[in-house]
Amino acid sequence: MPRRKKRYMEDDEVIVFDHVSKMYKENSNYALDDVSIRIKKGEFVFVVGESGSGKSTLTKLLLRELIPTKGNIYVLNYDLKRLRHRKVPKYRRNIGVVFQDFRLLRDRNVYENVAFAQRIIQVSGREIRRNVPRVLATVNLAGKYKAKPNNLSGGEQQRVAIARALVNRPSILLADEPTGNLDPKTSLEIMHLFEEINNAGTTVIMVTHDKNIVNAMSKRVITLNRGVVVSDEENGVYIDED
Amino acid sequence: MKISTLFYTLWQGIKNLFRNKLFTLASIATISSCLFLFGIFYAVLANFQNIIKTAEEGVCVVVFFDEGISEDRIGEIGEMIKKRGEVSAINFVSADEAWESFKEEYLGEYSEGFLENPLADSANYEIYLNDVSMQNSLVTFLESVDGVREVKRSEMTAMTLDGVNKLIGYVSLGIILLLFFVSVFLISNTVTIGIQVRKEEITIMKYIGATDFFTRAPFVIEGILIGLIGSSIPLGVIYFLYNRAIGFVTDSFSVLSQLLNFLTIEEIFKVLLPLSLAIGVGIGFFGSFSTVRKHLRV
Protein backbone atom coordinates (compact mmCIF):
# COMPACT_ATOMS: atom_id res chain seq x y z
CA MET A 1 0.00 0.00 0.00
CA PRO A 2 1.29 3.49 -0.77
CA ARG A 3 2.33 5.40 2.29
CA ARG A 4 -0.38 7.78 3.39
CA LYS A 5 0.75 11.35 3.79
CA LYS A 6 -2.43 12.80 5.23
CA ARG A 7 -0.54 15.30 7.36
CA TYR A 8 0.78 17.00 4.26
CA MET A 9 -2.61 17.26 2.56
CA GLU A 10 -5.94 18.64 3.63
CA ASP A 11 -8.94 16.35 3.10
CA ASP A 12 -10.16 18.37 0.13
CA GLU A 13 -6.74 18.55 -1.59
CA VAL A 14 -5.67 16.21 -4.40
CA ILE A 15 -2.29 17.69 -5.39
CA VAL A 16 0.39 19.29 -3.24
CA PHE A 17 3.74 20.54 -4.52
CA ASP A 18 5.78 21.28 -1.42
CA HIS A 19 8.83 23.47 -2.24
CA VAL A 20 9.60 21.38 -5.32
CA SER A 21 12.75 21.95 -7.36
CA LYS A 22 13.97 19.95 -10.30
CA MET A 23 17.43 20.03 -11.81
CA TYR A 24 18.15 17.72 -14.77
CA LYS A 25 21.95 17.82 -14.59
CA GLU A 26 24.12 18.63 -11.63
CA ASN A 27 25.15 22.29 -11.46
CA SER A 28 22.70 23.28 -14.22
CA ASN A 29 19.78 25.68 -13.83
CA TYR A 30 16.65 24.55 -12.06
CA ALA A 31 13.84 23.62 -14.47
CA LEU A 32 11.52 24.16 -11.51
CA ASP A 33 12.66 26.21 -8.56
CA ASP A 34 10.99 26.01 -5.16
CA VAL A 35 7.46 25.54 -6.51
CA SER A 36 4.66 25.20 -4.00
CA ILE A 37 1.13 24.57 -5.27
CA ARG A 38 -1.97 23.16 -3.59
CA ILE A 39 -4.91 22.02 -5.74
CA LYS A 40 -8.28 21.04 -4.33
CA LYS A 41 -10.63 18.31 -5.46
CA GLY A 42 -12.87 19.42 -8.33
CA GLU A 43 -10.78 22.44 -9.30
CA PHE A 44 -10.07 23.49 -12.89
CA VAL A 45 -6.52 24.84 -13.06
CA PHE A 46 -4.56 26.25 -15.97
CA VAL A 47 -0.78 26.05 -15.79
CA VAL A 48 0.59 28.60 -18.25
CA GLY A 49 3.94 29.90 -19.33
CA GLU A 50 6.22 30.30 -22.29
CA SER A 51 8.52 27.59 -23.66
CA GLY A 52 11.15 26.70 -21.08
CA SER A 53 9.03 27.96 -18.18
CA GLY A 54 8.87 24.51 -16.57
CA LYS A 55 5.40 23.37 -17.69
CA SER A 56 6.65 20.09 -19.18
CA THR A 57 8.75 19.36 -16.12
CA LEU A 58 5.71 19.93 -13.92
CA THR A 59 3.67 17.52 -16.09
CA LYS A 60 6.39 14.86 -15.95
CA LEU A 61 6.66 15.23 -12.18
CA LEU A 62 2.88 14.80 -11.86
CA LEU A 63 3.03 11.64 -13.96
CA ARG A 64 5.96 10.43 -11.85
CA GLU A 65 8.11 10.26 -14.94
CA LEU A 66 10.57 12.40 -13.00
CA ILE A 67 11.41 12.65 -9.30
CA PRO A 68 11.97 16.08 -7.71
CA THR A 69 15.52 17.05 -6.81
CA LYS A 70 14.23 18.90 -3.75
CA GLY A 71 10.87 19.04 -2.01
CA ASN A 72 7.96 16.61 -2.13
CA ILE A 73 4.92 15.99 -4.27
CA TYR A 74 1.78 14.41 -2.88
CA VAL A 75 -1.01 13.36 -5.20
CA LEU A 76 -4.14 11.61 -3.89
CA ASN A 77 -2.16 10.62 -0.80
CA TYR A 78 0.67 9.10 -2.84
CA ASP A 79 4.12 10.41 -1.91
CA LEU A 80 5.62 10.58 -5.39
CA LYS A 81 9.20 10.96 -4.20
CA ARG A 82 9.07 7.69 -2.30
CA LEU A 83 6.78 5.82 -4.69
CA ARG A 84 8.46 2.65 -5.93
CA HIS A 85 8.73 1.96 -9.66
CA ARG A 86 6.43 -1.07 -9.50
CA LYS A 87 3.73 1.04 -7.79
CA VAL A 88 3.79 3.74 -10.47
CA PRO A 89 1.27 2.02 -12.83
CA LYS A 90 -1.33 1.82 -10.07
CA TYR A 91 -0.77 5.50 -9.27
CA ARG A 92 -1.09 6.56 -12.91
CA ARG A 93 -4.48 4.84 -13.19
CA ASN A 94 -5.82 7.68 -11.02
CA ILE A 95 -4.76 10.24 -13.60
CA GLY A 96 -6.22 10.52 -17.09
CA VAL A 97 -3.77 12.05 -19.54
CA VAL A 98 -4.48 13.95 -22.76
CA PHE A 99 -1.62 15.06 -25.02
CA GLN A 100 -1.30 17.71 -27.71
CA ASP A 101 -0.50 15.06 -30.34
CA PHE A 102 -3.35 12.77 -29.17
CA ARG A 103 -1.06 9.71 -28.93
CA LEU A 104 -3.59 7.24 -30.23
CA LEU A 105 -2.71 3.76 -31.42
CA ARG A 106 -2.89 4.24 -35.19
CA ASP A 107 -3.48 0.59 -36.01
CA ARG A 108 -6.55 0.28 -33.79
CA ASN A 109 -10.00 1.75 -34.18
CA VAL A 110 -11.71 4.22 -31.86
CA TYR A 111 -13.36 1.48 -29.76
CA GLU A 112 -10.07 -0.43 -29.34
CA ASN A 113 -8.16 2.71 -28.39
CA VAL A 114 -10.57 3.41 -25.56
CA ALA A 115 -10.96 -0.25 -24.55
CA PHE A 116 -7.16 -0.48 -24.42
CA ALA A 117 -7.10 1.70 -21.27
CA GLN A 118 -9.59 -0.65 -19.61
CA ARG A 119 -7.72 -3.80 -20.65
CA ILE A 120 -4.57 -2.47 -19.04
CA ILE A 121 -6.29 -2.37 -15.66
CA GLN A 122 -7.78 -5.82 -16.32
CA VAL A 123 -11.44 -4.83 -16.51
CA SER A 124 -13.65 -7.73 -17.59
CA GLY A 125 -14.83 -7.96 -21.20
CA ARG A 126 -18.46 -7.45 -20.15
CA GLU A 127 -17.64 -4.21 -18.33
CA ILE A 128 -15.54 -2.97 -21.25
CA ARG A 129 -18.48 -3.55 -23.62
CA ARG A 130 -20.64 -1.49 -21.25
CA ASN A 131 -18.17 1.31 -20.37
CA VAL A 132 -16.63 2.10 -23.78
CA PRO A 133 -19.88 2.99 -25.62
CA ARG A 134 -20.97 5.07 -22.61
CA VAL A 135 -17.79 7.17 -22.59
CA LEU A 136 -17.78 7.46 -26.40
CA ALA A 137 -21.30 8.86 -26.13
CA THR A 138 -20.04 11.41 -23.59
CA VAL A 139 -17.53 12.76 -26.12
CA ASN A 140 -20.06 12.55 -29.00
CA LEU A 141 -18.24 9.80 -30.89
CA ALA A 142 -20.66 6.91 -30.44
CA GLY A 143 -21.23 6.68 -34.18
CA LYS A 144 -17.54 6.49 -35.08
CA TYR A 145 -16.40 3.64 -32.89
CA LYS A 146 -15.17 1.61 -35.89
CA ALA A 147 -13.10 4.42 -37.43
CA LYS A 148 -9.32 4.39 -37.41
CA PRO A 149 -7.59 7.54 -36.03
CA ASN A 150 -6.26 8.50 -39.46
CA ASN A 151 -9.84 8.79 -40.73
CA LEU A 152 -10.82 11.29 -38.01
CA SER A 153 -10.37 15.06 -37.79
CA GLY A 154 -7.99 16.55 -35.20
CA GLY A 155 -10.89 17.44 -32.91
CA GLU A 156 -12.31 13.93 -33.16
CA GLN A 157 -8.94 12.38 -32.42
CA GLN A 158 -8.65 14.57 -29.32
CA ARG A 159 -12.13 13.42 -28.26
CA VAL A 160 -10.97 9.81 -28.54
CA ALA A 161 -7.95 10.67 -26.39
CA ILE A 162 -10.24 12.31 -23.84
CA ALA A 163 -12.53 9.27 -23.87
CA ARG A 164 -9.52 7.03 -23.27
CA ALA A 165 -8.41 9.26 -20.39
CA LEU A 166 -11.91 9.23 -18.84
CA VAL A 167 -12.93 5.60 -19.25
CA ASN A 168 -11.14 4.47 -16.09
CA ARG A 169 -12.89 7.23 -14.12
CA PRO A 170 -9.73 9.07 -12.96
CA SER A 171 -9.81 11.55 -10.08
CA ILE A 172 -7.56 13.93 -12.01
CA LEU A 173 -7.49 14.75 -15.72
CA LEU A 174 -4.13 16.11 -16.86
CA ALA A 175 -4.19 17.77 -20.27
CA ASP A 176 -0.89 18.83 -21.85
CA GLU A 177 -1.57 21.46 -24.57
CA PRO A 178 -4.77 19.64 -25.64
CA THR A 179 -5.74 22.34 -28.13
CA GLY A 180 -2.25 22.89 -29.55
CA ASN A 181 -3.04 21.06 -32.80
CA LEU A 182 -6.63 22.27 -33.18
CA ASP A 183 -8.28 25.25 -34.88
CA PRO A 184 -9.95 27.89 -32.62
CA LYS A 185 -13.51 26.58 -33.15
CA THR A 186 -12.58 22.98 -32.39
CA SER A 187 -10.46 24.17 -29.46
CA LEU A 188 -13.50 25.82 -27.90
CA GLU A 189 -15.59 22.67 -28.36
CA ILE A 190 -12.88 20.62 -26.65
CA MET A 191 -12.68 23.16 -23.82
CA HIS A 192 -16.45 22.88 -23.27
CA LEU A 193 -15.97 19.13 -23.05
CA PHE A 194 -13.31 19.61 -20.37
CA GLU A 195 -15.64 21.96 -18.52
CA GLU A 196 -18.40 19.34 -18.55
CA ILE A 197 -15.95 16.75 -17.23
CA ASN A 198 -14.91 19.16 -14.50
CA ASN A 199 -18.54 19.90 -13.61
CA ALA A 200 -19.03 16.16 -13.14
CA GLY A 201 -16.44 16.30 -10.33
CA THR A 202 -13.12 15.49 -11.99
CA THR A 203 -10.19 17.74 -11.15
CA VAL A 204 -8.74 19.16 -14.39
CA ILE A 205 -5.15 20.39 -14.71
CA MET A 206 -4.50 21.93 -18.10
CA VAL A 207 -1.04 22.93 -19.23
CA THR A 208 -1.24 25.42 -22.09
CA HIS A 209 0.08 28.59 -23.62
CA ASP A 210 -3.16 29.34 -25.49
CA LYS A 211 -3.95 32.84 -24.23
CA ASN A 212 -7.44 33.03 -25.77
CA ILE A 213 -8.59 29.81 -24.19
CA VAL A 214 -7.27 30.73 -20.76
CA ASN A 215 -8.83 34.14 -20.78
CA ALA A 216 -12.16 32.86 -22.10
CA MET A 217 -12.57 30.23 -19.39
CA SER A 218 -11.96 32.41 -16.32
CA LYS A 219 -10.51 29.68 -14.11
CA ARG A 220 -7.60 29.46 -11.67
CA VAL A 221 -4.35 30.27 -13.52
CA ILE A 222 -0.87 29.37 -12.28
CA THR A 223 1.81 31.17 -14.28
CA LEU A 224 5.34 29.80 -14.50
CA ASN A 225 8.37 31.73 -15.66
CA ARG A 226 11.85 30.16 -15.75
CA GLY A 227 10.79 27.49 -13.29
CA VAL A 228 9.25 29.84 -10.75
CA VAL A 229 5.55 30.43 -9.96
CA VAL A 230 5.08 34.12 -10.73
CA SER A 231 1.34 34.22 -10.14
CA ASP A 232 -1.47 31.98 -8.92
CA GLU A 233 -4.91 33.56 -9.23
CA GLU A 234 -8.52 32.45 -9.07
CA ASN A 235 -10.41 33.61 -12.19
CA GLY A 236 -7.03 34.59 -13.54
CA VAL A 237 -5.85 35.64 -16.96
CA TYR A 238 -2.87 34.76 -19.08
CA ILE A 239 -0.11 37.22 -18.25
CA ASP A 240 1.45 38.17 -21.54
CA GLU A 241 5.12 38.85 -20.93
CA ASP A 242 5.39 40.73 -24.21
CA MET B 1 -3.42 -12.43 -13.86
CA LYS B 2 -6.95 -12.94 -15.15
CA ILE B 3 -7.53 -15.61 -17.79
CA SER B 4 -9.08 -12.99 -20.09
CA THR B 5 -5.93 -10.82 -19.70
CA LEU B 6 -3.73 -13.81 -20.50
CA PHE B 7 -5.65 -14.53 -23.70
CA TYR B 8 -5.68 -10.83 -24.57
CA THR B 9 -1.88 -10.68 -24.16
CA LEU B 10 -1.40 -13.81 -26.27
CA TRP B 11 -3.74 -12.49 -28.94
CA GLN B 12 -1.96 -9.14 -28.99
CA GLY B 13 1.36 -10.96 -29.43
CA ILE B 14 -0.06 -12.78 -32.47
CA LYS B 15 -1.66 -9.62 -33.86
CA ASN B 16 1.62 -7.72 -33.46
CA LEU B 17 3.11 -10.05 -36.09
CA PHE B 18 0.66 -8.66 -38.64
CA ARG B 19 0.68 -5.05 -37.41
CA ASN B 20 4.35 -4.67 -38.40
CA LYS B 21 4.54 -6.98 -41.38
CA LEU B 22 7.82 -5.54 -42.65
CA PHE B 23 9.50 -5.88 -39.27
CA THR B 24 8.12 -9.39 -38.85
CA LEU B 25 9.35 -10.47 -42.27
CA ALA B 26 12.79 -8.87 -41.73
CA SER B 27 13.17 -10.57 -38.34
CA ILE B 28 12.05 -13.96 -39.63
CA ALA B 29 14.36 -13.65 -42.65
CA THR B 30 17.32 -12.74 -40.44
CA ILE B 31 16.76 -15.60 -38.00
CA SER B 32 16.08 -18.04 -40.85
CA SER B 33 19.24 -17.07 -42.75
CA CYS B 34 21.46 -17.36 -39.70
CA LEU B 35 19.95 -20.66 -38.58
CA PHE B 36 20.04 -22.04 -42.13
CA LEU B 37 23.80 -21.40 -42.28
CA PHE B 38 24.11 -22.84 -38.81
CA GLY B 39 22.12 -25.95 -39.79
CA ILE B 40 24.11 -26.54 -42.99
CA PHE B 41 27.35 -26.17 -41.10
CA TYR B 42 26.15 -28.49 -38.37
CA ALA B 43 25.10 -31.16 -40.90
CA VAL B 44 28.51 -31.04 -42.63
CA LEU B 45 30.32 -31.10 -39.30
CA ALA B 46 28.25 -33.98 -37.92
CA ASN B 47 28.99 -36.02 -41.04
CA PHE B 48 32.72 -35.27 -40.80
CA GLN B 49 32.75 -36.37 -37.18
CA ASN B 50 30.82 -39.50 -38.09
CA ILE B 51 33.34 -40.36 -40.81
CA ILE B 52 36.24 -39.81 -38.42
CA LYS B 53 34.48 -41.86 -35.76
CA THR B 54 33.92 -44.71 -38.21
CA ALA B 55 37.61 -44.60 -39.17
CA GLU B 56 38.59 -44.57 -35.50
CA GLU B 57 36.48 -47.61 -34.82
CA GLY B 58 38.60 -49.54 -37.34
CA VAL B 59 41.83 -48.68 -35.53
CA CYS B 60 42.89 -51.51 -33.23
CA VAL B 61 45.78 -52.52 -31.04
CA VAL B 62 46.90 -56.17 -31.40
CA VAL B 63 48.41 -58.03 -28.45
CA PHE B 64 50.53 -61.19 -28.96
CA PHE B 65 51.46 -63.56 -26.13
CA ASP B 66 54.64 -65.30 -24.94
CA GLU B 67 55.33 -68.71 -26.40
CA GLY B 68 53.76 -71.57 -24.46
CA ILE B 69 51.42 -69.29 -22.47
CA SER B 70 48.45 -71.10 -20.93
CA GLU B 71 44.91 -70.52 -22.10
CA ASP B 72 43.96 -69.52 -18.53
CA ARG B 73 46.54 -66.72 -18.56
CA ILE B 74 45.29 -65.53 -21.93
CA GLY B 75 41.79 -65.42 -20.42
CA GLU B 76 43.07 -63.42 -17.41
CA ILE B 77 44.82 -60.93 -19.69
CA GLY B 78 41.56 -60.59 -21.66
CA GLU B 79 39.60 -59.78 -18.47
CA MET B 80 42.22 -57.17 -17.45
CA ILE B 81 41.97 -55.51 -20.86
CA LYS B 82 38.15 -55.44 -20.81
CA LYS B 83 38.22 -53.48 -17.55
CA ARG B 84 40.28 -50.66 -19.07
CA GLY B 85 38.42 -47.39 -19.78
CA GLU B 86 40.11 -46.93 -23.16
CA VAL B 87 38.64 -50.16 -24.54
CA SER B 88 35.38 -50.22 -26.47
CA ALA B 89 35.60 -53.86 -27.72
CA ILE B 90 37.97 -56.81 -27.56
CA ASN B 91 38.16 -59.74 -29.95
CA PHE B 92 40.17 -62.94 -29.36
CA VAL B 93 41.78 -64.41 -32.48
CA SER B 94 43.15 -67.96 -31.98
CA ALA B 95 46.26 -69.19 -33.86
CA ASP B 96 44.06 -71.28 -36.18
CA GLU B 97 41.79 -68.32 -36.96
CA ALA B 98 44.87 -66.15 -37.63
CA TRP B 99 46.20 -68.75 -40.09
CA GLU B 100 42.84 -69.16 -41.82
CA SER B 101 42.54 -65.42 -42.23
CA PHE B 102 46.12 -65.16 -43.54
CA LYS B 103 45.58 -68.01 -46.03
CA GLU B 104 42.38 -66.49 -47.30
CA GLU B 105 43.88 -63.06 -47.68
CA TYR B 106 47.37 -63.78 -49.07
CA LEU B 107 47.94 -67.43 -50.10
CA GLY B 108 44.80 -68.83 -51.59
CA GLU B 109 45.44 -72.24 -53.23
CA TYR B 110 49.21 -72.01 -52.46
CA SER B 111 48.51 -72.67 -48.79
CA GLU B 112 48.06 -76.40 -49.42
CA GLY B 113 51.84 -76.94 -49.09
CA PHE B 114 51.75 -76.07 -45.39
CA LEU B 115 51.17 -79.12 -43.19
CA GLU B 116 51.42 -77.29 -39.85
CA ASN B 117 50.22 -73.88 -38.76
CA PRO B 118 53.22 -71.56 -39.23
CA LEU B 119 51.44 -68.98 -37.10
CA ALA B 120 51.20 -71.32 -34.07
CA ASP B 121 52.20 -68.53 -31.69
CA SER B 122 50.01 -65.90 -33.29
CA ALA B 123 46.96 -66.06 -31.02
CA ASN B 124 46.09 -62.43 -30.19
CA TYR B 125 43.59 -59.93 -28.90
CA GLU B 126 42.34 -57.25 -31.27
CA ILE B 127 41.49 -54.29 -29.04
CA TYR B 128 39.24 -51.49 -30.31
CA LEU B 129 39.43 -48.10 -28.63
CA ASN B 130 36.84 -45.59 -27.43
CA ASP B 131 39.11 -42.81 -28.59
CA VAL B 132 42.30 -43.10 -30.61
CA SER B 133 43.98 -40.44 -28.47
CA MET B 134 43.97 -43.02 -25.64
CA GLN B 135 46.11 -45.47 -27.63
CA ASN B 136 49.43 -44.57 -25.97
CA SER B 137 48.23 -45.06 -22.40
CA LEU B 138 46.71 -48.43 -23.30
CA VAL B 139 49.87 -49.60 -25.08
CA THR B 140 52.03 -48.61 -22.10
CA PHE B 141 49.77 -50.67 -19.87
CA LEU B 142 49.74 -53.67 -22.22
CA GLU B 143 53.52 -53.73 -22.53
CA SER B 144 53.82 -54.01 -18.77
CA VAL B 145 51.49 -57.03 -18.54
CA ASP B 146 53.19 -60.34 -17.76
CA GLY B 147 52.71 -62.82 -20.65
CA VAL B 148 52.50 -60.18 -23.41
CA ARG B 149 55.20 -60.63 -26.06
CA GLU B 150 54.39 -57.84 -28.44
CA VAL B 151 51.92 -55.01 -28.88
CA LYS B 152 51.22 -53.80 -32.40
CA ARG B 153 49.64 -50.49 -32.99
CA SER B 154 48.95 -48.10 -35.79
CA GLU B 155 50.53 -44.97 -34.45
CA MET B 156 50.39 -42.98 -37.66
CA THR B 157 46.69 -43.59 -38.26
CA ALA B 158 45.86 -42.83 -34.65
CA MET B 159 47.83 -39.60 -34.65
CA THR B 160 46.33 -38.47 -37.95
CA LEU B 161 42.77 -39.20 -36.85
CA ASP B 162 43.34 -37.61 -33.47
CA GLY B 163 44.78 -34.52 -35.16
CA VAL B 164 41.91 -34.24 -37.65
CA ASN B 165 39.43 -34.72 -34.83
CA LYS B 166 40.95 -31.92 -32.78
CA LEU B 167 41.20 -29.63 -35.81
CA ILE B 168 37.53 -30.16 -36.67
CA GLY B 169 36.65 -29.57 -33.03
CA TYR B 170 38.46 -26.21 -32.88
CA VAL B 171 37.29 -25.04 -36.30
CA SER B 172 33.68 -25.99 -35.62
CA LEU B 173 33.71 -24.30 -32.21
CA GLY B 174 35.10 -21.15 -33.83
CA ILE B 175 32.56 -21.13 -36.66
CA ILE B 176 29.64 -21.94 -34.36
CA LEU B 177 30.61 -19.09 -32.01
CA LEU B 178 31.07 -16.71 -34.93
CA LEU B 179 27.71 -17.67 -36.45
CA PHE B 180 26.06 -17.37 -33.05
CA PHE B 181 27.38 -13.85 -32.39
CA VAL B 182 26.57 -12.71 -35.91
CA SER B 183 23.03 -14.09 -35.47
CA VAL B 184 22.56 -12.40 -32.10
CA PHE B 185 23.88 -9.11 -33.46
CA LEU B 186 21.71 -9.17 -36.60
CA ILE B 187 18.61 -10.32 -34.79
CA SER B 188 18.92 -7.90 -31.87
CA ASN B 189 19.44 -5.07 -34.36
CA THR B 190 16.29 -6.07 -36.23
CA VAL B 191 14.34 -6.31 -32.96
CA THR B 192 15.70 -2.94 -31.82
CA ILE B 193 14.55 -1.26 -35.02
CA GLY B 194 11.15 -2.93 -34.68
CA ILE B 195 10.77 -1.83 -31.08
CA GLN B 196 11.88 1.71 -31.93
CA VAL B 197 8.86 1.91 -34.22
CA ARG B 198 6.71 0.76 -31.30
CA LYS B 199 8.28 3.06 -28.70
CA GLU B 200 5.25 5.34 -28.98
CA GLU B 201 2.90 2.48 -28.16
CA ILE B 202 5.01 1.46 -25.15
CA THR B 203 5.04 5.07 -23.90
CA ILE B 204 1.25 5.36 -24.23
CA MET B 205 0.78 2.09 -22.38
CA LYS B 206 3.02 3.25 -19.56
CA TYR B 207 1.27 6.64 -19.24
CA ILE B 208 -2.12 4.96 -19.03
CA GLY B 209 -0.89 2.82 -16.16
CA ALA B 210 0.19 -0.48 -17.71
CA THR B 211 2.53 -2.56 -15.58
CA ASP B 212 5.93 -3.51 -17.00
CA PHE B 213 4.69 -7.08 -17.38
CA PHE B 214 1.55 -6.09 -19.29
CA THR B 215 3.57 -3.77 -21.55
CA ARG B 216 6.31 -6.29 -22.21
CA ALA B 217 4.29 -9.51 -22.58
CA PRO B 218 2.86 -9.00 -26.11
CA PHE B 219 6.30 -8.00 -27.44
CA VAL B 220 7.94 -11.01 -25.81
CA ILE B 221 5.27 -13.32 -27.24
CA GLU B 222 5.82 -11.71 -30.63
CA GLY B 223 9.59 -12.27 -30.26
CA ILE B 224 9.08 -15.92 -29.33
CA LEU B 225 6.75 -16.48 -32.29
CA ILE B 226 9.19 -14.81 -34.68
CA GLY B 227 11.98 -17.00 -33.26
CA LEU B 228 9.84 -20.11 -33.62
CA ILE B 229 8.87 -19.38 -37.22
CA GLY B 230 12.38 -18.18 -38.06
CA SER B 231 13.92 -21.42 -36.81
CA SER B 232 11.25 -23.72 -38.29
CA ILE B 233 11.74 -22.50 -41.87
CA PRO B 234 15.46 -23.43 -42.17
CA LEU B 235 14.78 -26.74 -40.43
CA GLY B 236 12.14 -27.56 -43.02
CA VAL B 237 14.42 -26.51 -45.89
CA ILE B 238 17.35 -28.53 -44.52
CA TYR B 239 15.07 -31.56 -44.02
CA PHE B 240 14.17 -31.63 -47.70
CA LEU B 241 17.58 -30.56 -49.04
CA TYR B 242 19.69 -32.94 -46.97
CA ASN B 243 18.52 -36.25 -48.47
CA ARG B 244 18.74 -34.82 -51.97
CA ALA B 245 22.27 -33.56 -51.32
CA ILE B 246 23.41 -36.92 -49.90
CA GLY B 247 21.70 -38.71 -52.82
CA PHE B 248 23.47 -36.44 -55.28
CA VAL B 249 26.91 -37.02 -53.67
CA THR B 250 26.53 -40.81 -53.52
CA ASP B 251 25.15 -41.01 -57.08
CA SER B 252 27.74 -38.69 -58.60
CA PHE B 253 30.75 -40.00 -56.68
CA SER B 254 30.11 -43.71 -56.25
CA VAL B 255 33.65 -44.26 -54.87
CA LEU B 256 32.84 -41.93 -52.01
CA SER B 257 29.66 -43.74 -51.12
CA GLN B 258 31.63 -46.93 -50.46
CA LEU B 259 34.18 -45.12 -48.28
CA LEU B 260 31.97 -42.67 -46.45
CA ASN B 261 29.11 -43.38 -44.14
CA PHE B 262 26.67 -40.44 -44.15
CA LEU B 263 24.30 -39.78 -41.27
CA THR B 264 20.55 -39.95 -41.86
CA ILE B 265 18.47 -36.76 -41.55
CA GLU B 266 16.82 -38.25 -38.45
CA GLU B 267 20.24 -38.58 -36.79
CA ILE B 268 21.11 -34.99 -37.75
CA PHE B 269 17.77 -33.69 -36.45
CA LYS B 270 18.19 -35.37 -33.06
CA VAL B 271 20.53 -32.49 -32.17
CA LEU B 272 19.79 -29.86 -34.82
CA LEU B 273 16.02 -29.67 -34.21
CA PRO B 274 16.06 -28.86 -30.47
CA LEU B 275 19.21 -26.74 -30.85
CA SER B 276 17.83 -24.56 -33.67
CA LEU B 277 14.45 -24.14 -31.97
CA ALA B 278 16.15 -23.24 -28.69
CA ILE B 279 18.43 -20.70 -30.39
CA GLY B 280 15.54 -19.17 -32.39
CA VAL B 281 13.11 -18.96 -29.50
CA GLY B 282 15.87 -17.93 -27.09
CA ILE B 283 17.03 -15.08 -29.30
CA GLY B 284 13.42 -13.99 -29.92
CA PHE B 285 12.68 -14.03 -26.20
CA PHE B 286 15.81 -12.34 -24.89
CA GLY B 287 16.00 -9.91 -27.83
CA SER B 288 12.49 -8.57 -27.28
CA PHE B 289 12.71 -8.78 -23.47
CA SER B 290 15.88 -6.72 -23.23
CA THR B 291 14.92 -4.22 -25.94
CA VAL B 292 11.49 -3.45 -24.46
CA ARG B 293 13.15 -3.09 -21.08
CA LYS B 294 15.09 -0.07 -22.33
CA HIS B 295 11.82 1.74 -23.05
CA LEU B 296 9.98 0.85 -19.87
CA ARG B 297 11.45 3.63 -17.75
CA VAL B 298 8.73 6.11 -18.64
Nearest by CB to residue B208, choosing from A65, A86, A92, is A92
Positive or negative, the CA dihedral B42, B47, B49, B50 is: positive
Contact A168 B209 (CB under 8 A): yes
Contact A120 B214 (CB under 8 A): yes
* pLDDT reported for residue B259: 67
In order of B124, B138, B146, the CA distances from B85 in angstroms are 20, 9, 20
Determine the straight-line distance between the first and last CA of chain A, rounded to whole angstroms: 48
Q: Using 50, 70 and 90 to split pLDDT, how confident is the model at B34? A: confident
Nearest by CB to residue A97, choosing from B1, B8, B207, is B207
Instruction: Encode pLDDT of A116-137 as tens digits.
Output: 999 888 888 899 999 999 999 9
Q: Judged by CB atoms within 8 Å, which residues 223-262 of B form the interface with A?
A: none
Question: ipTM of this model?
Answer: 0.86
The reply to whether A168 touches chain B by the CB within 8 Å rule is yes
Q: Using 50, 70 and 90 to split pLDDT, how confident is the model at B51? A: confident
What pTM does this model have? 0.70
Residues 6+ apart with CB under 8 A from A34: A19, A20, A21, A70, A71, A228
In order of B68, B91, B145, B252, B257, the CA distances from B141 in angstroms are 22, 18, 7, 46, 38
* pLDDT reported for residue B197: 67
Return the percentage of chain B with pLDDT > 70, whole number. Answer: 89
CA distance B111 to B100: 10
- Residue B94 sits at φ, ψ, to 5 deg, of -75, 165
Instruction: Encode pLDDT of B93-137 as tens digits.
Output: 877 787 777 777 777 666 666 666 666 677 888 888 887 778 888
In angstroms, the separation between the Cα of residue A224 and the nearest Cα of chain B is 24
Q: What pairs with residue A74 in β-bridges?
A: A16, A79
In order of B106, B174, B207, the CA distances from A56 in angstroms are 98, 52, 14
Q: Looking at per-residue confidence, does A43 or B59 come out higher? A: A43
Q: Which of B6, B12, B204, B215 to mutate to test the interface with A (most CBs of A within 10 A)?
A: B204
Does residue A42 surpass a pLDDT of 80?
yes
Residues of A in contact with B200 (CB under 8 A): 103
DSSP A44: E
Instruction: Encode pLDDT of B216-267 as tens digits.
Output: 888 889 889 999 999 999 999 999 999 898 888 888 877 766 667 788 999 9
Nearest by CB to residue A105, choosing from B2, B8, B201, is B201
Which chain B residue has its CA at the smallest distance from A65's CA?
B298
What string of H, E and C letters represents the secondary structure of chain B? CCHHHHHHHHHHHHHHHHHCHHHHHHHHHHHHHHHHHHHHHHHHHHHHHHHHHHHHHHCEEEEEECCCCCHHHHHHHHHHHHCCCCEEEEEEECHHHHHHHHHHHHHHHHHHHCCCCCCCCCCEEEEEECCHHHHHHHHHHHHCCCCEEEEECCHHHHHHHHHHHHHHHHHHHHHHHHHHHHHHHHHHHHHHHHHHHHHHHHHHHHHHCCCHHHHHHHHHHHHHHHHHHHHHHHHHHHHHHHHHHHHHHHHHCHHHHHHCCCCCHHHHHHHHHHHHHHHHHHHHHHHHHHHHHHHCCC
The reply to whether A67 touches chain B by the CB within 8 Å rule is no
The reply to whether B21 touches chain A by the CB within 8 Å rule is no
Instruction: Encode pLDDT of A187-236 as tens digits.
Output: 999 999 999 999 999 999 999 988 889 998 889 999 999 999 999 999 88
